[in-house]
Every structure is written in C-alpha cells, then in structure tokens.
Amino acid sequence: MKNKLLKNSVMTLVLLLSTTLIFSQAVNKPSIMVFPSDDWMENNNYMDVVDNHGTPTKIPNYARALLNDDLNQVITTIETLMKEREYPLTNLSLTLKDIADRNALANAETSEDGESVQEGPKDKLLSTARPDIILYVFWKINQIGPKKSITFRLSGIDAGTNKPQASAEGTGNELIGAALPVMLKTSVLSNIDNFNAQLMTYFEEMQVKGREISLEIQVFDGSAKKLNSEINEDGDELADDIRRWMKLKTVNGAFTPQTKTATKMQFVSVRIPLRGEDGSAYTSDDFGTELRKYLRRTYQLPSHNYTIGTGKTVVVIGGKSQ
C-alpha cells in the first residue's frame, strides 16, 4: 500500500514538473528593442552623413533623436504595450548610455592584418543589447482643424538576419485634444494582437529550426595552417574539418557555404540553437567562441573571434587581436 502511494506521489510530482516545464516554454517570447524607423529619422533630420571610404553614407544618430520628447513618448508607449504581452524588452536609451559609459562607440575595428571591419552605430547597439527582434516604429500626426489622428507603422525585424517577420499599420480615429501617447495607443491596440501572433509564429518556428546567423572565417598570412592545408593522410583539408564541425554544431546540420579560398570561408543561413546546454541564450558569439576553442584544442591554432551586430560572427585563424 505504501509503495503504491509512493508511486502515485512520484507520478504526480513528475506530471506537475512536466506541466511547469511545458508552460514555461510556452510563454517564452523573443526579446525586443524598439527603434525609430529610418524614414522617421530621415524625415526629422536625425541622419548624419559620414565618409565611408569615399562614399557619403547616411547613418542614424539615435543619441540626438532621443532628445526629442515625442520619440521618447512613442518608444515608451510601444514598450508598455509589448510588456503587457510579456515580451522581454531592452531600452534603446539605456543601451546607448551603457555603450557610452564603456567607450564602445569606435568608428571601426581593425584586425591584426590591417583589414578594417566596418560596424555602424546600429550594429554596436545590437551587439550590446542582443535582442531577438528589432521593432521599428514610424508615425506621423495628421491634423484637420482641431481634430488630430495618427498614422503608424510597426515592423518586426529579425535582429540577426534583418529579415521582416511581422508588420502592422493603420490610421487611428480623429480626436480632439488627445496627447500623442493616447492617440498612438488607441491606433495600435486594434492591430497589436495580429502583430503579436505574427511574431510568435516566427519565434516558434525559430525554436524548431534554430537562430539564423552568418559565419566568416579569415586566416592571417603567418598562420601555421591555411584552409586548404591537408590535415590527414586521406587528404582532408582544414576547411573540410570545419564543415564537419559545423554539421555537428548546427541545428539539423543547416548552413549554406559561400566563399571558399585558402584564406577565407563564408557561410550563410547558419542555424544555431536558441539555448545552450545550460539553458541560457546561445548567441552567434558563443558559436564563434566554440569554433575558436575547437581550432586551438585540435590544431593548436591561435585564433580570435568577434561579432558584428547579433547575426554575424567572425573567426580569425593564426593570431590574436591586439
């Protein structure tokens, strides 16, 4: 009798734990960072023109834009709506301050071989905050006499691939004397559930297929091995072993090779797990770090790795960054 009661108790405990685990996985949602859209930045003169190797290039100046009270109200309103739907959030203003405090806003990063790797302000923000989704918001106020309405657009973009995954837009009812946050909230509310459903459909798919990133491997001139160096009597090259490693480390062995030379390999559509073995978020930086350690452990090749934004990891073989 006691054994039967003990067995029933254990089974009940297992069911409770399983239910808790399933529930915790079900409510898992992508992290979000709200940005003003590039066209809003352009329309409001918050784009700076910089010289990019002789080509004038426009880049968003988020620090200057955040001095605009309307933008802060809009970001706060959208963040509140998403927080009510239990999305984890990273704030743009706080991330900018964190970067400034750590003096991380350098113009470019240079590797030991002198190759310049351009990383814009947005990439630096994303490298610091590491959101799953960038939520771009655009809005404009329409006014006819005393009545005002607001036209808005929300775009949910995968932070790693820059591919659109969810969208919503519309124009709210004409109101008299309403403040900007009230008009925006009223307009967005009729579309937010459909937007939420689009995001969750994408994220649930990503949980099955993995997070999509890209990988670039570079080799210093002085490296003891190049990518076409043979590593065994069968004639396998270092590049062949890297591909074998990737098949083991990616979700369902999913990746697409592109460039392959003696000193460079590039892969796109690289699918990595959302979570590491310890259950914490697994990132492109973690993937690059694992490959760097594998090369050191297996071939005694010193290497270093770094990320660009959240979706690209670079491994440089044959030396350490200064």
Q: Which of 31-40, 60-69, 141-150, 282-291 has the lowest mean pLDDT?
A: 141-150
> Is residue 112 domain-resident?
yes
Residue 43 and residue 174 in one domain: yes
What is the per-residue pLDDT for 184? 92
Residue 96 and residue 241 in one domain: no
Neighbouring C-beta atoms of residue 266, cutoff 10 Å: 17
Question: How many domains does the chain fold into?
Answer: 2
For the stretch 230-276, pLDDT in tens is: 999 999 999 999 999 999 999 999 999 998 999 999 999 999 998 88
Q: Among 188, 207, 226, which residue terminates a domain? A: 207
What is the per-residue pLDDT for 320? 65
Instruction: Flag whether the pTM goes above 0.85.
Output: no
What is the per-residue pLDDT for 65? 95
Q: 256: which DSSP letter?
A: E
> Is residue 7 domain-resident?
no
What is the per-residue pLDDT for 244? 97
Residue 39 and residue 155 in one domain: yes
> Is residue 236 domain-resident?
yes
Kindly indicate the confidence band of residue 117, based on its pLDDT and cuts at 50, 70 and 90: very low
| Interval 36-62 mean pLDDT | 91
Q: Are 320 and 222 in contact (CB under 8 A)?
A: no
For the stretch 9-41, pLDDT in tens is: 444 333 333 333 333 334 478 899 999 999 999
In this model, does residue 2 exceed pLDDT 50? no
Q: How far is CA 247 from CA 113, 179, 257, 298, in A?
A: 29, 54, 12, 17
CA distance 277 to 272: 12
Long-range (24+ apart) CB contacts under 8 A made by 52-55 are 52/118
Q: Among 207, 242, 276, which residue terminates a domain? A: 207
CA distance 7 to 43: 68
Which CATH number goes with the domain that contains 36?
Answer: 3.40.50
Quote the domain boundaries for residue 253. Answer: 210-317
Residue 255 and residue 196 in one domain: no
What is the per-residue pLDDT for 15? 38
> Is residue 23 domain-resident?
no
Residue 109 and residue 251 in one domain: no
**Each residue of 121-141: b (16+ CB within 10 Å) or e?**
bbbbbbbebbbbbbbbbbbee
> Is residue 6 domain-resident?
no
Residue 84 and residue 227 in one domain: no
In this model, does residue 52 exceed pLDDT 70? yes
Q: 237: which DSSP letter?
A: B
CA distance 211 to 277: 15
* Helices and strands: H and E segment counts in the chain: 9, 15
What is the per-residue pLDDT for 103? 56
| Interval 104-112 mean pLDDT | 40
> Is residue 278 domain-resident?
yes
